[in-house]
Structure 1
């Protein structure tokens, strides 16, 4: 199922990664085209469906050269909500009404999953469309870029979690079977368990 809905992408790359014990964005990943990093891998996936692509990074975070626009959080450790608002604002300024928002630790993400969400986002006109497979995947959903003022209000009120935004606006959940594409890499063992497809 494909959708023609224009989408920007917002990749959150500046998280603290406490369980991993190091920056996830620059973790080495043996991709189908050879060695790369997680952030390069996720950028390469979303770029085939989304334009423009924004990577939200922490202050001073070292990143490889990316085919994306890198935006920096002003402070570290304030949670994903503020970073999401920054990305949505940039996407809105670029003239795109919807953005796929995801985490940097999803190396098995596919454009098929993005399109499974884009169709309902286009038809239903809701603020947010999330995949649900027994739990909400806040950082693998489609968000209206016009939500950035709502994010600002929530952050000013002290909110830090994505759930605060999802609960405050019109959110549609799309029930899916568990998807490998939605898997987050949280430990070295998670990363080692991934066997990427090889291109022939």
Structure 2
């Protein structure tokens, strides 16, 4: 019995060790993939027909979520600088009580983007889903991802793994405890992204009929 416990303990510690070693490796892989595809200056960002705005919740508790606010401001900046023609808003609408895309659309309109230049993807449950659906459902093989830099790096990595021509426009980062917590979680998300691509061949939860953007 004791030998079996020692065996399981050794296996568990071995898996923990491999996980710890894998985090910096996956981080480096993702950063390297996106290194030449990210932009901070709207004036230097290449034009793409569609900007893929990655969703998040509007509030953290009773406070505005700065990740949300800065992403919407980045999308509006690109649109006003004529660097994108449409915004594809992708987010979670898994229940009738939680609808990220519609909330984001309403706030984008307030920032000056016409409603008919905003397209909603209600099935962007994960970054992988959002990226793949931009191609498979909305017909975009080249697009600009809009989120914070850490998120753009992972989205661009996932897009490149699918043969898509994605660049990223970096929204303002968020500091403080909230920002640190998200960055820590991102390390595990990067490892999961690599496993999705290299091992699991993970597919979006939903695909569906084609929804072309900007085609009459």
TM-score if structure 2 supplies the norm length? 0.35
Structure having the higher helix fraction is 2
Structure having the higher Rg: 2
